[in-house]
Amino acid sequence: MRREEKRGERSRGGDMRGRREEGRRRGEEGSGYREEGRGEERKKRGEEVRVSGVPSPRRLRFKVINQNNLHISWKEPKGDFDKYKFRYNYIPGGHPREIDVPKTDSKVIITDYKPAKDYVIHVIAVRGGQQSKALQGTHKADHTDSDKGGETQPQRLKERVVPPDDANEISGVDPFRCHTEAIADIVILVDGSWSIGRINFRLVRLFLENLVNAFDIGIDKTRIGLAQYSGDPRIEWHLNAFTTKDSVIDAVKNLPYKGGNTLTGLALTYILENSFKPDSGSRPGVPKIGILITDGKSQDDVIPPAKTLRDAGVELFAIGVKNADENELQSIASEPDEGHVYNVADFSIMSSIVEGLTKIVCEQVEHQDKEIKTKQTVEEPETGAPSDFLVSEVTAKSFRVTWSPAPGQVEKYRVVYYLAQGGKPDEVVVDGSESSVLLEHLSSQKRYNVAVFPVYATTGGEGLRGFADTLSLAAVTDLELVDMSHSAMRARWSAVEGASGYMLLYTSLAGDGHWAEEKEVSHRKAIHSLRITLKSPDPESLKVSDATTELELDGLIPDTEYTVTVYAVFGEESSDPFTQQEKTLPLSPPRNLQFSKITHNSAHINWEPPQGAKGYRVSWAMTDGRVIDEVELGPVSFYDLGDLTSLTEYSVAVSALYDDGQSQSLDDGFTTAPAPGPLNLRASDVSADSLRVSWDHSASDVVLYKLSWTPLTGGNTREAILRGADDSYVLTALNPSTEYEVMLIGVFKDESESDTVAVTATTPSRQAARNLRLGEKTTHSMVASWELEDPLVEGYRVSYADSVDSADTAESVHLPAGMRRVVLQPLEPDTWYKVTLTPLYPDGQDGISAAVQGATLPLSSPSNLRVSEEWYSRFRVTWDPPSSPTTGYRIVYQPFSAAGPALDTVVGQNVNSVVIPNLQSGTEYGVQVSASFPGGHSEPLLGTAKTLFLGVSGLSTYQVRPNSMCVQWQPLSQATMYRAAIQSTLNRQRQEVSLGGGASRQCFHDLTPSSQYEISVHTRIRELEGPAVSVTDMTLPAPTDAPTPPPTTEAPPTIPPAKEVCKEAKADLVFLVDGSWSIGDDNFLKITRFLYSTMGSLDVVGPDGTQVAIAQFSDDARTEFQLSSHGNKEALLEAIQRIRYKGGNTKTGRAIKHVKESIFTPDGGARRGVPKVLVVLTDGRSQDDVNTVSKEMQVEGYIIFAIGFADADYGELVNIASKPSDRHVFFVDDLDAVKKIEEQLITFVCEAATATCPAVLMSGNTMAGFRMMEKFGLVEKEYGAVPGVSLEPGSFNSFPCYRLHRDALVSQPTKYLHPEGLPSDYTISMILRLLPETPQEPFALWEILNKEKEPLVGLILDNSEKTLTFFNYDYKGSFQTVTFEGLEIKKLFHGSFHKLHVSVSKTWVRVVLDCSPAGEKAISASGNITTDGMEVLGRMVRLRGTRENSAPFQLQMFDIICSTSWANRDKCCELPALVRYKHLPLSLSLSLSLSLSLSLSLSHSLTFTPS
């Protein structure tokens, strides 16, 4: 029976249901949880079980913290609940226990954990009286150890230990691993269709990761490739893409989600043709495995491609999830189904089948491997691929494929072809003797991909691939549109050979500019010409036989654009279209429209009639588009328009009317004549206060007249309305000495008006004032002045009012005749006023008035608000005055952070700057400045200002103990006193102490254990005290009596005493310990004893001395504890004894990088300004690169010691460790001999950790000294945070230097830079450059100040005297200076980069400039310095004003070396002029040459000539 028939029978039987149940049971058993009869168990306890409506917790996880603590966590349910019930029991011997857990917690720690017991856990969500189903699981016992301690109740975890969200297996279960010598090529085919979803696809990735993890992967081991499919498949990676398991797992974790349809059959064919190929990594003679993962039924046929894969020797496994079709899975997978077909209900339980699947795959790989090796003993037949792919006889529907035969005995050829743009593959099978086949029934003008596969008796050969393009169908090549009329046209074209008919589409261009919708009408008559008449204007489509090549289209719309398209039809396909476009003829309109007899209210029109017109439609409208009237006429050619409006433009349209419709209109226009105005307007009978006007009538249809008169010199216009029959009128109450303009308008019955006619007349004259003007304007006044020489005037009346107010509000001033100016006040600011001057005459009559307008000045605001002289309790506010004169200013200020009334102060008009006192420190204020004027205040000018914060920074606690704790802070340089207080938050118990301005720490004693305290520090500068800066911490619990220790074979270690060499050690010290498998438990115990003994040699452990961290590494690094974890030696040594052996491979490079990035950090407790020492212990060669990260750390100033034993590589130890190697590299045969090097190692480490002169990397060697650039923050990663500093090119373009701008005052506390003071002998080494703007006054390149800002030691440059001075205090406390001058010293002031060495010994000071001696002078032995002050760069010796100043200059390098011989060894290679190319390697010489040329170019642009 064939395979497919067997599958069909099984699918119809009841056996299928049995398999599904069995598969589901397998999934449940493999999930890692033990389901028990929870309902029965609760019934036994007498509980009421209600589970409906309450969601269950999810994802139970276990984590063993140590031998006494088991951590259990879970994920909260998706829904509403009140709390959890947590039940647990251990077996054998335990009894059930239960606690309530708040809903905010999802974790519990069992503190009486017994590793030798199995733990059964139940977690239940509770809401009201209802309970969810229990989430339960079992943590299996660890039989390697047992615990017989006492039992306690479980406690909730205070510190979060969060398990990863994507984990879905219980920790501690060892997964299956395939341990076989047989290897395989495994290709995984993953369904990436939309039905999977992104969330479920993450679970698929996790399943793939577990699957990959089960095999030993390598280039000569098992290989794994992967393809993803949906609508189209794609290769994610080939079999030969990765050579390690880690790289395959990384690729799985980054596998993208594809999305699309489900075409499984196409994907199976795809991996056969693309994945199982030699160039994709498939190897001959190696078992081939294919694993399919899908969640639904395929949308194409899967049986043929699956059979082809199986026939090609690929063993197929099919995994279905959720909606997968089990019949389809069985038709895909290899036989037997049991072991090759898996079907699980949900993605979340896919992990349940991993172990069973990998076991079966592993067994089948071994089975296939044996079969292959057995077959290899029999001579294999010759196989291969066809060649010489050739395409011929190409048409639109077919082409022929020809090839050269494949080698060997070919039984048949499979020719597979499909559309290149996607489509279902078709297949033709020909006999093995054939080498050609004609592929027919194809689509025209398409590309087809073709593959020819040889089929042998027992196997298939490689395919020959190619492609071919079918031709396009023949198309109509000419189309004519002729015999055009207003309703028809004829379409004519040439016949196309082979066409079965034609399709003609025609459509009109719609009025909105879009083509109308096409319709289809069939016609099958075999004629050469047709006439088609349209009954409606709808567009049409015609299909005609191959004999028809001409059509007449009738019933078209006149004057309409039509597009006509013809297709040649070949069966069900059609050719490319051929299109033409024409327009039907329009209907004839009238011609020669003319206008005559145009008056102000009528016109006559006439036109020439067209032939065939039945009548006319005439419409006329004003130019605004409003239709006045429309009329439809018979067969006439004229019409009279009446009732028109005068002087109006009219448009006239005349259209001819036909049976088929209306023609286009004939359009033209005309303008009516103006309404005629009155005739012969004249004045008579003129007197001082009256006159008569007369006129003649111009038309009979005037209904009234509008008469108006106005004084030409200004005044009110007066009007009169008269009857249309009136022809004269008398004007009265006129002003004497005034010229009047009289105007007359005729109004007609259509309410149109005639043109205005005018006449002027003058009453007897009087003089008016001249040159009336306004000046001397302020915000509240202005001066009016004028000229008038009239002896008859007896006084003046000056009236003024706001120009927008009525005349009723005007105010007046009366003046005697002799005055010519007056001050008008009080006025409103920024207001326009109209001022009228009227002469007064003795007869009581007013003279001619004159008027003028002017505006007062606005209340202008101040501008350019500036804030300066910020202090802790004050700042200065400055502004620019407004253009208008003021009476003073009002300054209002209020803090942003505090509610309450604002404060203000007032200053006089000549003040534009004021100091605001009595402010809160560190507070931002809003400031408003308003200008005061007699008329009010201006709009305020707004700004912000902030006082300096009077308080410490970096406040933190340390040395926290049960009865005491200490606090430390970054001091404020100007502080005179600190007030530190501690107060219990429980009982308000309080202690307070006052400290000096140089203090930076304080300890408090007699505290209560396990109590929370708040520590506050107030800063005072003389009488000014700032706000409190606070920190809260809790004292440690009171120590309890230690429990009785269990019997032990050796005495507990004692705390070793500190060694003398370590008494002054102060460093951050990290031990990196090898924990790989090659160490072993016994040797690792020896390592911890060695660490215990070594660390016991330290004196002070903690923030005030040496901080210690330990990390253990194998494949990755694990921080055992951080630098800040332990504040005393006892706690440190106790922590060392708790370190547990890790195990794994040896990845030393990765571990060193972990130390740099995770331990030597501020978060890890690393301190600034102390040596950083790393000690590496290893027993073998690293499996990764150690050179890169080791070199980086050495260059950055880390001190590295390397200790090797057993199989360690000495060369690798040298690369890891600092130089010289004889101080930093140690090697012993085994760990029993480590005692031999312990004393020397402790000595070298403690010397390197001595804070007085820490070790730094200098010219490739580790030396004692200080990297001052790093300590001042002048490095590329930190300079941006230093005010007044910018990065620029140095002596070479590749060397950075830092410009210290004027008044930058770069400084740091001395205790951070030199916590133990300066050594007795040292060399100051600098590369610097003075700038054109560097002042002539003396300044200190570098100096140390005490807390009173008095200089203790430093270097002074005097630009005017060209001298260099060194100063300090000798051992007797006397101040001493030595000054160097001369030609060599003057070079320092020449504006280029120079290297300066100043060596200070107990008896002399020596200066070396640019590696040449410049002088030596005797001094007394130096005294030490205090560390309560500051170290400053560039500080001016003499203050400018009340504030400290600093000089601008460039600084490229600044080191202090704890030796006086460094200047003699230095080569000054940083200076272009001193580079000795013959001593350098060729590549470095070329690099320096290029840098020198660029640097000289840049320096030339910056060089200046000193005065």
CA 768 to chain centre: 77
Query: How far is the C-alpha of 1090 from the C-alpha of 1084, rounded, in Å?
Result: 10
Look at strands 661-662 and 1285-1289 and give their pairing: unpaired
Instruction: Find out whether 1223 and 1074 touch, Cβ atoms under 8 Å.
Output: no
The SS3 assignment for 1286 reads strand
CA 43 to chain centre: 57
pLDDT at position 766 is 67
pLDDT at position 1248 is 77
**CA-based angle 1485:1491:1496, to the nearest 5?**
125
The residue among 874, 854, 877 whose CA lies nearest residue 864 is: 877
Query: How far is the C-alpha of 1059 from the C-alpha of 45, rounded, in Å?
Result: 66
Cis ω on the peptide bond leading into residue 92 (within 30° of 0)? yes
**CA-based angle 102:105:106, to the nearest 5?**
120
Query: How far is the C-alpha of 317 from the C-alpha of 341, rounded, in Å?
Result: 6
Query: How far is the C-alpha of 1025 from the C-alpha of 872, rounded, in Å?
Result: 9
Q: In the structure encoding, which two tokens stand for residue 980, read together?
A: 């530190």
- Dmax over CA atoms of the chain, in Å, equals 151
Q: If residue 548 lies in a helix (H) or strand (E), which one and from where to where?
A: none
The residue among 1428, 1363, 1393, 1389 whose CA lies nearest residue 1299 is: 1393
Query: How far is the C-alpha of 325 from the C-alpha of 191, rounded, in Å?
Result: 14
pLDDT at position 765 is 65
The SS3 assignment for 549 reads coil
Residues 6+ apart with CB under 8 A from 553: 488, 489, 490, 491, 506, 532, 534, 562, 564
Asked whether the CA dihedral 51, 52, 53, 59 is positive or negative, the reply is: positive
Residues 6+ apart with CB under 8 A from 1457: 1258, 1263, 1264, 1265, 1322, 1323, 1325
- What Å distances lie between residue 358 and 107, 292, 1111, CA to CA? 33, 14, 36
What are the b/e assignments for 836-864, b being 16+ CB within 10 Å?
bbbbbeeeeeebbbbebebbbbbbbbbee
Instruction: Find out whether 1218 and 1192 touch, Cβ atoms under 8 Å.
Output: no
Name the pTM for this structure. 0.32
Q: In the structure encoding, which two tokens stand for residue 780, read together?
A: 């509240």
Query: How far is the C-alpha of 235 from the C-alpha of 212, rounded, in Å?
Result: 17
The residue among 538, 529, 572 whose CA lies nearest residue 556 is: 538
Look at strands 1285-1289 and 1296-1300 and give their pairing: antiparallel
The residue among 584, 689, 585, 601 whose CA lies nearest residue 647 is: 601
The residue among 172, 499, 203, 194 whose CA lies nearest residue 345 is: 203
Secondary structure (DSSP) of 1208-1258: --HHHHHHHS-SSHHHHEEEESSGGGTHHHHHHHHHHHHHHTBSSS-EEEE
Query: How far is the C-alpha of 185 from the C-alpha of 271, rounded, in Å?
Result: 12
What are the beta bridge partners of residue 1019? 978
Residues 6+ apart with CB under 8 A from 6: none
The residue among 1338, 1304, 1351, 1322 whose CA lies nearest residue 1463 is: 1322
Torsion of CA 1015, 1021, 1024, 1027, to 10 degrees: -30
Q: Which residue has the tokens 């705390």?
A: 1055
Residues 6+ apart with CB under 8 A from 1118: 1075, 1111, 1112, 1142
AA identity, residue 821: R
Q: What angle, rounded to 10 degrees, do the helices at 303-311 and 264-274 form?
A: 30
Q: What is the pLDDT of residues 766-820, one digit of tens each?
A: 667 888 899 888 888 899 999 887 777 889 999 998 876 655 678 888 889 888 8
Residues 6+ apart with CB under 8 A from 138: 33, 34, 118, 119, 120, 121
pLDDT at position 1419 is 94
Cis ω on the peptide bond leading into residue 336 (within 30° of 0)? yes
Instruction: Find out whether 486 and 558 touch, Cβ atoms under 8 Å.
Output: yes
Secondary structure (DSSP) of 1032-1088: EEEPPPPP-PPPPPPP-SSPPPPPPPPPGGGTTB--EEEEEEE-STTTHHHHHHHHH
Instruction: Find out whether 339 and 316 touch, Cβ atoms under 8 Å.
Output: no
Query: How far is the C-alpha of 1111 from the C-alpha of 179, rounded, in Å?
Result: 33
| 385 phi, psi to nearest 5 deg | -115, 150
What are the b/e assignments for 280-318, b being 16+ CB within 10 Å?
bbbeeebbbbbbbbbbbebebebeebbbbbbeeebbbbb
Locate the DSSP E strands across 112-183: 118-127, 130-131, 135-139
pLDDT < 50 stretches in the chain: 1-52, 145-173, 511-531, 533-538, 1048-1052, 1477-1507
Locate the DSSP E strands across 205-295: 223-229, 234-237, 288-294
Torsion of CA 1331, 1332, 1337, 1342, to 10 degrees: 0
Secondary structure (DSSP) of 1344-1388: EE-TT--EEEEEEEETTTTEEEEEEEBTTS-EEEEEE-SHHHHGG
* Helix residue ranges, H only, 510-625: none
Instruction: Find out whether 117 and 95 touch, Cβ atoms under 8 Å.
Output: no
The DSSP letter of residue 280 is: G
Query: How far is the C-alpha of 14 from the C-alpha of 529, rounded, in Å?
Result: 71
Taking phi over 0 as left and psi of -120 to 50 as alpha, with beta for the rest, 733 belongs to: left
Q: What is the pLDDT of residues 698-739, one digit of tens each?
A: 887 888 999 999 998 888 899 999 998 899 999 888 877 788
**CA-based angle 172:178:179, to the nearest 5?**
105
